[in-house]
Amino acid sequence: MKQLVRANLVIGIDGSTTLNGGSKGLSSRTDRDRFHAMRKEFDVILIGGETARNEPYGKTPIPLVVISRSSTVPVMVAANPMLNLWNISPEVAIKKCQAEIGKKVLIEGGPNFLKAALPWIDEISITRANVSEGENQIDLDSLIKDFSLISETSTGAEKYQLFKRIN
Protein backbone atom coordinates (compact mmCIF):
# COMPACT_ATOMS: atom_id res chain seq x y z
CA MET A 1 0.00 0.00 0.00
CA LYS A 2 1.32 3.44 -0.96
CA GLN A 3 1.86 6.05 1.71
CA LEU A 4 -0.43 9.08 1.62
CA VAL A 5 -0.82 12.07 3.92
CA ARG A 6 -3.87 14.24 3.22
CA ALA A 7 -5.03 17.28 5.12
CA ASN A 8 -8.76 18.02 5.20
CA LEU A 9 -9.91 21.56 5.91
CA VAL A 10 -13.10 23.61 5.67
CA ILE A 11 -12.67 27.35 5.24
CA GLY A 12 -15.01 30.30 5.00
CA ILE A 13 -14.83 32.84 2.18
CA ASP A 14 -12.74 35.08 4.45
CA GLY A 15 -10.24 32.28 5.20
CA SER A 16 -11.78 31.47 8.59
CA THR A 17 -11.35 27.90 9.77
CA THR A 18 -13.71 28.09 12.75
CA LEU A 19 -16.99 29.78 13.59
CA ASN A 20 -17.91 30.16 17.25
CA GLY A 21 -14.86 28.09 18.22
CA GLY A 22 -15.39 25.04 15.99
CA SER A 23 -15.41 24.00 12.35
CA LYS A 24 -19.00 22.70 12.39
CA GLY A 25 -20.43 26.19 11.88
CA LEU A 26 -18.61 26.42 8.55
CA SER A 27 -19.70 23.00 7.35
CA SER A 28 -22.97 21.92 5.75
CA ARG A 29 -24.57 18.50 6.10
CA THR A 30 -23.30 17.63 2.59
CA ASP A 31 -19.76 18.58 3.59
CA ARG A 32 -19.95 16.54 6.80
CA ASP A 33 -21.20 13.51 4.84
CA ARG A 34 -18.33 13.93 2.39
CA PHE A 35 -15.91 14.35 5.29
CA HIS A 36 -17.08 11.14 7.00
CA ALA A 37 -16.91 9.21 3.71
CA MET A 38 -13.32 10.42 3.21
CA ARG A 39 -12.30 8.94 6.55
CA LYS A 40 -13.09 5.46 5.20
CA GLU A 41 -10.21 5.84 2.72
CA PHE A 42 -7.63 6.29 5.50
CA ASP A 43 -6.00 4.24 8.24
CA VAL A 44 -5.61 6.91 10.93
CA ILE A 45 -6.74 10.44 11.82
CA LEU A 46 -4.05 12.81 13.10
CA ILE A 47 -4.95 16.01 14.97
CA GLY A 48 -3.29 18.48 17.30
CA GLY A 49 -4.20 19.20 20.89
CA GLU A 50 -6.10 22.38 20.05
CA THR A 51 -8.37 20.49 17.64
CA ALA A 52 -8.90 17.80 20.30
CA ARG A 53 -9.98 20.48 22.75
CA ASN A 54 -12.43 22.16 20.35
CA GLU A 55 -13.93 19.46 18.13
CA PRO A 56 -15.98 16.29 18.89
CA TYR A 57 -13.53 13.38 18.66
CA GLY A 58 -15.11 11.09 21.24
CA LYS A 59 -15.79 8.48 18.57
CA THR A 60 -13.91 7.86 15.33
CA PRO A 61 -14.22 5.04 12.78
CA ILE A 62 -10.44 4.61 12.62
CA PRO A 63 -7.60 5.15 15.11
CA LEU A 64 -7.17 8.72 16.34
CA VAL A 65 -3.76 10.20 17.12
CA VAL A 66 -3.59 13.44 19.08
CA ILE A 67 -0.24 15.12 19.32
CA SER A 68 0.05 17.63 22.10
CA ARG A 69 2.65 19.02 24.48
CA SER A 70 0.05 18.52 27.20
CA SER A 71 -0.73 15.02 28.39
CA THR A 72 -4.41 15.84 28.78
CA VAL A 73 -7.35 15.84 26.40
CA PRO A 74 -11.04 16.47 27.10
CA VAL A 75 -12.92 13.65 28.80
CA MET A 76 -14.91 12.96 25.62
CA VAL A 77 -11.73 12.49 23.55
CA ALA A 78 -10.04 10.48 26.30
CA ALA A 79 -13.03 8.09 26.17
CA ASN A 80 -12.32 7.29 22.51
CA PRO A 81 -11.14 3.63 22.57
CA MET A 82 -9.01 4.29 19.47
CA LEU A 83 -7.12 7.23 21.00
CA ASN A 84 -3.33 7.47 20.90
CA LEU A 85 -1.91 10.52 22.71
CA TRP A 86 1.65 11.42 21.73
CA ASN A 87 3.94 14.29 22.69
CA ILE A 88 6.00 14.42 19.47
CA SER A 89 6.38 16.66 16.43
CA PRO A 90 4.05 16.41 13.41
CA GLU A 91 6.88 14.94 11.31
CA VAL A 92 7.64 12.19 13.84
CA ALA A 93 3.90 11.56 14.38
CA ILE A 94 3.28 11.07 10.65
CA LYS A 95 6.20 8.65 10.38
CA LYS A 96 5.09 6.79 13.53
CA CYS A 97 1.49 6.57 12.27
CA GLN A 98 2.68 5.09 8.99
CA ALA A 99 5.04 2.65 10.69
CA GLU A 100 2.72 1.49 13.47
CA ILE A 101 -0.90 2.10 12.39
CA GLY A 102 -1.26 2.49 8.63
CA LYS A 103 0.22 4.11 5.55
CA LYS A 104 -2.70 6.46 4.85
CA VAL A 105 -2.86 9.39 7.30
CA LEU A 106 -5.70 11.96 7.35
CA ILE A 107 -4.83 15.22 9.08
CA GLU A 108 -7.82 17.11 10.45
CA GLY A 109 -6.02 19.92 12.20
CA GLY A 110 -6.39 23.66 12.38
CA PRO A 111 -4.21 26.29 10.72
CA ASN A 112 -1.24 26.08 13.11
CA PHE A 113 -1.14 22.31 12.98
CA LEU A 114 -1.41 22.29 9.18
CA LYS A 115 1.42 24.78 8.84
CA ALA A 116 3.64 22.64 11.08
CA ALA A 117 2.79 19.44 9.16
CA LEU A 118 2.81 21.00 5.68
CA PRO A 119 6.21 19.69 4.53
CA TRP A 120 4.95 16.09 4.96
CA ILE A 121 1.48 16.56 3.42
CA ASP A 122 0.91 15.05 -0.05
CA GLU A 123 -2.63 16.31 -0.65
CA ILE A 124 -4.95 18.98 0.72
CA SER A 125 -8.73 18.59 0.55
CA ILE A 126 -10.52 21.90 0.99
CA THR A 127 -14.17 22.75 1.37
CA ARG A 128 -14.80 26.40 0.61
CA ALA A 129 -17.93 27.39 2.51
CA ASN A 130 -19.97 30.50 1.79
CA VAL A 131 -19.60 31.67 5.39
CA SER A 132 -17.64 34.60 6.78
CA GLU A 133 -16.79 36.38 10.00
CA GLY A 134 -15.32 33.30 11.65
CA GLU A 135 -12.04 32.93 13.49
CA ASN A 136 -8.61 31.44 12.91
CA GLN A 137 -8.07 32.77 9.40
CA ILE A 138 -5.60 30.97 7.20
CA ASP A 139 -3.78 32.29 4.14
CA LEU A 140 -4.95 29.70 1.64
CA ASP A 141 -2.66 30.93 -1.15
CA SER A 142 0.36 30.42 1.09
CA LEU A 143 -0.90 27.01 2.21
CA ILE A 144 -1.37 25.66 -1.33
CA LYS A 145 1.57 27.37 -3.08
CA ASP A 146 3.40 24.05 -3.55
CA PHE A 147 0.24 22.20 -4.61
CA SER A 148 -1.74 21.91 -7.83
CA LEU A 149 -5.52 21.64 -8.15
CA ILE A 150 -6.42 18.14 -9.37
CA SER A 151 -10.21 18.14 -8.89
CA GLU A 152 -13.03 20.51 -8.10
CA THR A 153 -16.77 20.09 -7.64
CA SER A 154 -19.44 22.28 -6.14
CA THR A 155 -22.85 21.87 -4.58
CA GLY A 156 -24.86 24.96 -3.83
CA ALA A 157 -22.74 27.41 -1.94
CA GLU A 158 -19.80 25.05 -1.30
CA LYS A 159 -16.84 24.19 -3.46
CA TYR A 160 -14.77 21.05 -2.88
CA GLN A 161 -11.18 21.07 -4.07
CA LEU A 162 -8.37 18.54 -3.96
CA PHE A 163 -4.79 19.73 -4.33
CA LYS A 164 -1.73 17.52 -4.85
CA ARG A 165 1.84 18.45 -3.99
CA ILE A 166 3.94 19.50 -6.97
CA ASN A 167 7.25 17.62 -6.79
What pTM was estimated for this model as a whole? 0.91
Asked if the model's pLDDT at residue 106 lies above 90, the reply is yes
Please tell me the class of the 4-165 domain.
alpha beta
Asked if the model's pLDDT at residue 20 lies above 80, the reply is no
- Over the stretch 45-62, which tens digit does the pLDDT of each residue have? 999 988 898 888 999 999
Q: Please measure the distance between the N-terminal and C-terminal CA atoms of the chain and give it in whole angstroms.
A: 20
* Most confident by average pLDDT, 39-48, 53-62, 154-163: 39-48
Q: How confident is the model over 140-151, as a mean pLDDT?
A: 92
pLDDT tier at 64, thresholds 50, 70, 90: very high
Asked if the model's pLDDT at residue 120 lies above 90, the reply is yes
